[in-house]
Amino acid sequence: MASTLVKEYFREDKLPHIWCPGCGNGIVTRAIVKAIDSLGLDKDNVCIVSGIGCSSRAPGYLDFNTLHTTHGRALAFATGVKMAKPELEVIVITGDGDSSAIGGNHLIHACRRNIDITTIVFNNNIYGMTGGQYSPTTPTGDKGTTAPYGNLDANFDLCELTKGAGASYIARGTAYAAKQLEKFIAEGIKNKGFSFIEAITACPTYYGRKNKKGSAVDMLQTVKESAVMDKAWDRLSEEQRQGKFKIGSFHVEAKPEYTEEYKKLIASFNKGEE
Amino acid sequence: MATTTTVGLKSHTVEEEWCKGCGICVAFCPKNVLELENEIVVVKRLEDCIQCGQCELRCPDFAIWLGGK
Ligand SMILES: Cc1ncc(C[n+]2csc(CCOP(=O)(O)OP(=O)(O)O)c2C)c(N)n1
Ligand code: SF4
Ligand code: SF4
Ligand code: SF4
């Protein structure tokens, strides 16, 4: 049996999903579905694209047009879908590794083009699927199987990265504050341009165990306590910000969208032929 | 399977086959309505429930929801 939401938008026969007990991926996936539902979008007009990773398995459970592609390349496939059928709402589900390690180049260029795609990164600070290697968002000093003594690299702030690269809607929410996350995702879908939503979530199995972060409940509690709304964040001292991170809808900008510009270009050629 | 518990106008349903016993709904319920028994959630004190929906909101397995089957 399932709730009306699950009956309407999930492939019920594929449930229960394969994610570990307490993995935040299910919470974020539900928030995406709620956002789509709140906008009243026609299911057949939505295409959800993912790469490879635990998070990227989400579209397999969802009853829309779905595309499970190759590691790091979700945005390349999604760009193709959007160019071929600009009328579709194209949504990308990706992991921190998928989007910012192997797929980092696709990410910055999709931002730069401001193509009308909404990307939701499930940021669990680790490569979950392959057993806990550190990713570009593993905090400096934290452990992974490939960083047994602590990660030396500085971690990306994905919202700052996508801002620098040119995304026109940027927000960060959490699996704890799932209602607010749903609102950010809906705003991102409504934005005509490249929208980037970072969902802070938890991988209790690998990141949690490697870094002694406790149970799934403990990890969600930590997310709750560490997330600070941007307005409140601005009033904190550097010292008070230690161990915390900022959430909110950070950036909205009206600027030319790629498929629209492409359409105009084609139209200009057709005019010349008349 | 799936069990619906009803008290007055309030009902909660649990799909036991999907519940993985993570305890998230139990921990964040503001009214201590839920408990784990043998690693499966049980709706224990529905009379105290304020229908806030937080259990359904954060269940990673879509295994608990407000309303009937
Ligand atoms: C080209 C290629 N390289 C490496 C892999 C192995 N691989 C699969 S998933 C993954 C990382 C997944 O991490 P992330 O994107 O953060 O997702 P998560 O599993 O944490 O949700 C890697 C390295 C692959 N499938 N394809
Ligand atoms: S390994 Fe981590 S990210 Fe993957 S399903 Fe398990 S808890 Fe979730
Ligand atoms: S609806 Fe709210 S009060 Fe009722 S069981 Fe769920 S979390 Fe607890
Ligand atoms: S949150 Fe969901 S999976 Fe976890 S114990 Fe509650 S009903 Fe079960």
Q: pLDDT (tens digit, 9 = 90+) per residue, A108-136?
A: 999 999 999 999 999 999 999 999 999 99
Q: Would the CB atoms of A1 and B23 count as touching at under 8 Å? A: no
Distance (Å, whole) CA A57 – CA B38:
29
Whether the per-residue pLDDT at A195 is higher than 60: the answer is yes
- Whether the CB of B30 is below 8 Å from some CB of chain A: the reply is no
DSSP label at A15?
P
Categorize the per-residue pLDDT at A244 as very low, low, confident or very high, splitting at 50, 70 and 90. very high
Q: What is the pLDDT of residue A274?
A: 54
Q: How many domains does chain A have?
A: 1
> Model pTM?
0.98
Q: Residues enclosing ligand 1, CB less than 6 A?
A: A 52-55, 71, 95-98, 122, 124, 126-130, 135
CA pair distance A221, A176, nearest whole angstrom: 8
CATH number assigned to the domain comprising residue B27: 3.30.70.20
Q: Are A245 and A227 in contact (CB under 8 A)?
A: yes
Burial state string for A95-122 with b = 16 or more CB within 10 A and e = fewer than 16? bbbbbbbbbbebbbbbbebbbbbbbbbb
User: Domain limits at B19?
Assistant: 2-66
CATH number of the domain at A157, please.
Answer: 3.40.50.970
Q: What is the mean pLDDT of residues A187-195?
A: 98
Q: By residue range, what is the domain housing residue A114?
A: 2-273
Count up the domains in chain B and report the number. Answer: 1
- ipTM rounded to 2 decimals: 0.98
Token readout for A24 is 């935040």
The alpha carbon of A150 and the centre of ligand 4 are apart by a number of angstroms equal to 32
What gap in Å lies between CA A167 and CA A115, rounded to an integer?
A: 9
Query: What pLDDT shows up at residue B69?
Result: 79
The pLDDT score that the predictor gives to residue B1 is 81
